[in-house]
Amino acid sequence: MPEVAVGDYVLVHVGFALSKLDEAEARRVLEILEELGQLGELEASQP
Amino acid sequence: MKYVDEYRDPRKARLLSVAIRKAVTRPWTIMEVCGGQTHSIVKYGIDGLLPSELELVHGPGCPVCVTPLELIDRAHAIAARPDVVFCSFGDMLRVPGSHSDLFQLKSRGADVRVVYSPLDAVKLAEAEPAKKVVFFAIGFETTAPPNAMAVWLARQKGVTNFSVLVSQVLVPPALTAILESPDNRVQAFLGPGHVCTVMGSADYEPIARRYRVPIVIAGFEPLDLLEGILLAVRQLEAGEARVENQYSRVARSEGNPQSQNLMAEVFEVCDRKWRGVGVIPRSGLRLRAEYQQLDAERLFEVGGIEANEPPECISGQVLRGIRKPHDCPAFGSQCTPSSPLGATMVSSEGACAAYYLYGRHVNREGAGR
């Protein structure tokens, strides 16, 4: 993977880097969940 | 570890679990395709966080599990030869063939070695020119590019004592075979995150459309799986059937073009037999004609070896999502990870091994043994 630089996170499988981790995408799901949590709606309805 | 620990956050997992409960109004059956996903689901108890309407069934995405018994017997016939160094990933060593396994062969003097990367086997061939080094090239699209690289490199370097025993398989034809089966129960898939990292998602679009099944490409951590299930449930409840990508931090829609080019250079599509499933048309890879001098099956003339499955093993039905490991009378008694009858009990990615390892000796409803 020519576009990879020191400090990047990559997915390694059997000794090969198959993909560079997209840090913006990585944060996306976590941020969406944070927003859900802040609404408090889901936590309040937990059994 | 960064970008791993965050996806194991228990508070966020609870939030997703509640969101799934709110989204579900009726029963649905979802198959996670990958053995790695099955392992995570059982290890973290993800299925225990789901409402009773949702059932997860475990898919065929375990490379060791779907490698046919006759290929394993062929591997053993090659490994037993005195002039051969047989190299494999570690989880293949305990897989029983019809007569033996690679560990037993090793204890009887065969030169069997575990390698971490297929390139290690090429290095070994260069270091031991008097030996014939054979690498057992099994796996899905994720492992095909590294295996192709080993073959390509050996040919480039003129390493004539290196060959590969190929048992490469492809996911999309297997999903089609599951959906075409008259006893199919699967209504949505958690798609294979790492296979799609290599191949992209284009091959899944026609499957989602034709069979009206949502396919959510998903990762392997608890939050990945729970978010994948939530996205699949939302599609099912809305009557939609699209390819959606939960694992966008790693898998991109176009996949990894360099990997795809390397695979296409070395391999071509062929029919392949899947253990427990049978022959699926155009579901595998074999070496192209230009690389046939590296084909161990041809070099050692083992292509004629055939095998019969142990009749008591139900791994084929487990791999197609028809039955669960604890439905098998041999599970946990005759069949354990130290003495496995079938491949789903051997590989750490196999559903039976995951159930055994994490104490699922009875099913959730208490109706098990």
Closest CA to B248 of B201, B287, B204: B201
- What ipTM does the predicted assembly reach? 0.82
Q: Is residue A12 assigned to a domain? A: no
Residues 6+ apart with CB under 8 A from A23: A9, B3, B249
**Structure tokens that stand for A5 in this block:** 């630089």
Q: Is residue A8 assigned to a domain? A: no
CB contact under 8 A, A14 and B12: no
Q: Could you tell me what percent of chain B has a pLDDT over 70?
A: 98
Domains of chain B: 1-311 (3.40.50.11740), 315-357 (no CATH)
**Residues of A whose CB is below 8 A from B142:** 13, 18
d(CA B342, CA B340) in angstroms, rounded, equals 6
Residue range of the domain that includes A30 = 22-47
Number of domains composing chain A: 1
Q: Is residue A45 assigned to a domain? A: yes
Q: Is residue A33 assigned to a domain? A: yes
CB contact under 8 A, B6 and A30: yes
pLDDT digits (tens, 9 = 90+) for B54-63: 999 999 999 9
Q: Is residue A34 assigned to a domain? A: yes
pLDDT band, residue A43 (cuts 50/70/90): low
Interface mutation vs chain B, best among A4, A11, A12, most B CBs within 10 Å: A11
DSSP one-letter code for B278: E
Asked if residue B224 lies in contact with residue B251, where contact means CB atoms within 8 angstroms, the answer is no
pLDDT at B212 over 50: yes
Instruction: Tell me which residues of chain A have a C-beta less than 8 Å from any C-beta of chain B.
Output: 1, 9, 11, 13-16, 18-19, 21-23, 25-26, 28-30, 33, 36-37, 42-43, 45-46
The pLDDT mean for chain B works out to: 93
Q: Is residue A9 assigned to a domain? A: no
**Better-scored residue on pLDDT, A34 or B215:** B215
pLDDT at B192 over 90: yes
Q: Is residue A13 assigned to a domain? A: no
Q: Is residue A42 assigned to a domain? A: yes
